[in-house]
Structure 1
Amino acid sequence: PPDISKSVVAVNGVPLGTQDNLFCITGGEGTGKSNYVGAILAGALGEKRLPIEKTLGLEITPNPKGLAVLHYDTEQSEAQLHKNLGKTLRRASLTAVPEFCHSLYLASLSRKDRLNLIRESIDLFHHRHGGIHLVVIDGIADLIRSANDETESIAIVDELYRLAGIYNT
């Protein structure tokens, strides 16, 4: 049988997000999704597990090998992304962005270019850092023309599952 996927995000020992799988956070505007994402990213930046009060009750697997931590944002302004990254670093008790962490602003790109950049950079950072610990895409609906188009929606989910499987993230 295949190896059991390793947990990356858990609550009370119950895995929510595992390697080679997708974990989706949904909610209305202004409900704190970006803050939640920041807590997950903060936990993935350290060599040791952060206390759960810093990760909003989540148990985030630390990253002692310095594998790539990738954050793609398709929604926020560049200034807001920078502000959120600063909050994430403070939460992780870091003063600078680790060299393995890459937070990319995609809102200015076309939908097609966003997905191409994600594909190509995942491969680049996988090779540069010896693997990928975590990928966050804040706003996957912004990778397609219409979230109500079932064919297009299924295609993007299939592509993300494919990438998660290939890069074990």
Structure 2
Amino acid sequence: MIQPNNYRIDEAKYKSLLKYIRLSVTEKYEFPQEIVQIDGVTIATIGNFSASTGKPKSKKTFNVSAIVASALSGKEILKYKAELPSCKNRILYIDTEQSKCHCHKVLHRILKLAGLPTDQENDNIQFLVLREYTPDQRRDIIRWALHEEQNIGLVIIDGIRDLIHDINSPSESLDIINELMRWSSYYELHIHTVLHLNKGDDNTRGHIGTELNNKAETILQISKNNENGKISEVRAMHIRDREFTPFAFEIGEDSLPHLVKEHQFKKNKMDRLTSYTDMTEQQHRTALESTFAESAEYGYQSLLDALKKGYESIGYSRGRNTLVNLCKFLLEHHAITKNGRTYSYNSSFHL
């Protein structure tokens, strides 16, 4: 039977796609280039996306300004040390919430932090103000900008919530997260976005927050210090690399963020335990006993869900990426054993 011409065209595209996505054991694949670090800990790489999150007035945009200024200058600003590839040394900054007047203050702040002139245009940063547009129009503008702008290595989207209509829509949330993954991979750049936390707790807002937790390379949490509201604290909420030591900053008389040295962090439920590698054997036992309290065996995804609840019971709340690494750690130390496709608890383990 002769197939229609359009089927042959689709078949050709499909074969081309298969060739592109097929993994070869004999080919070498380079690790993504690291472009932003904190004390040697990688928080951003080319081909991935990350986020800053926090409650209103927590100084999220000031934090992002420091990242951008470091990428523009190559200097360490606050604790960020950024270095873009020489062929991708331009930054695209997109603001979806503020007026041109307020965005101008952000751009001015970035250039001052970077030690660059504020009385002339800088070709290495393109700032787009999308407040007056609809979510669909904003996404179209971003697509066009990525297509047209050359040598972009870092994209900031200050207000990812404004790229969708319903923050609690699973389909819209998954769609925009897939868009971030597609843009960052296809254009070989890093995207850093901003999302608010819920007012009542420390969870990222809506279904899009859940998707960010599952897919982002790093999520930074910026929060006001409980005793001094002028100080903002930066922690790793979720991170693929090892966790960095939290740091704090405050806004000086020059309206710029400055590092607060020797700041004393008051531990709370979220940061009582900073890393699973630093936990005692008893802490792991307590968490694992809670994990396997409802079932003696789990499939892999069910195990990750149970580990999340089990470790939250001892004050260690993390996202999927950290839980995957935690699972590997527990398997390596024989705290969890794999039997075919199921996983069970080995109470006789020792760290």
| TM-score of the superposed pair, with normalisation by structure 2 | 0.44
CA contact (8 A) 2:71 2:81 kept: no
- TM-superposed deviation, 1:62: 4.8
Higher relative contact order (CA 8 A, sep 6+): 1
Three-state SS of the structure 2 residue aligned to 1:16 is strand
CA contact (8 A) 1:111 1:145 kept: yes
State which structure, 1 or 2, has the greater radius of gyration over its C-alpha atoms. Answer: 2
Instruction: Give the letter for the 2:38 counterpart.
Output: V
CA–CA separation in structure 2 for the residues paired with 1:72 and 1:100: 14
CA–CA separation in structure 1 for the residues paired with 2:45 and 2:105: 28
Q: What is the aligned partner in structure 1 of residue 149 from structure 2? A: 125
CA–CA separation in structure 2 for the residues paired with 1:64 and 1:31: 33
Three-state SS of the structure 2 residue aligned to 1:9 is strand
User: Whose strand proportion is higher, 1 or 2?
Assistant: 2
Q: What is the aligned partner in structure 2 of residue 90 from structure 1? A: 112
Q: What is the aligned partner in structure 1 of residue 164 from structure 2? A: 144
Q: Deviations over 1:113-153 (max 9, x none)?
A: 10000011011113xxxx22210000011000011111100
Distance 1:41 1:63, change over 3 A: farther
Instruction: Give the letter for the 1:113 counterpart.
Output: Q
- TM-superposed deviation, 1:97: 3.4
Three-state SS of the structure 2 residue aligned to 1:70 is strand
CA contact (8 A) 2:94 2:158 kept: yes
Q: Unpaired segments of 5 or more residues in structure 1?
A: none
CA contact (8 A) 2:93 2:156 kept: yes
CA–CA separation in structure 2 for the residues paired with 1:64 and 1:91: 21
Q: Deviations over 1:62-87 (max 9, x none)?
A: 56556321000001111100011101
1:78 aligns with 2:100: yes
Distance 1:82 1:98, change over 3 A: same
- TM-superposed deviation, 1:100: 2.8
1:113 aligns with 2:137: yes
Q: What is the aligned partner in structure 1 of residue 60 from structure 2? A: 33
CA–CA separation in structure 2 for the residues paired with 1:115 and 1:150: 18
Instruction: Give the letter for the 1:24 counterpart.
Output: A
Three-state SS of the structure 2 residue aligned to 1:133 is strand
The CA RMSD over aligned residues, in Å, is 1.4
CA–CA separation in structure 2 for the residues paired with 1:66 and 1:106: 24
Three-state SS of the structure 1 residue aligned to 2:146 is helix
Instruction: Give the letter for the 1:14 counterpart.
Output: V
CA–CA separation in structure 1 for the residues paired with 2:64 and 2:174: 23
Spell out structure 1 runs of 4+ moving beyond 6 A: none
Q: What is the aligned partner in structure 1 of residue 311 from structure 2? A: none
Q: Deviations over 1:34-68 (max 9, x none)?
A: 0011111111212xx21x3xx22111115655632
CA–CA separation in structure 2 for the residues paired with 1:29 and 1:13: 29
Q: Unpaired segments of 5 or more residues in structure 2?
A: 1-27, 190-351
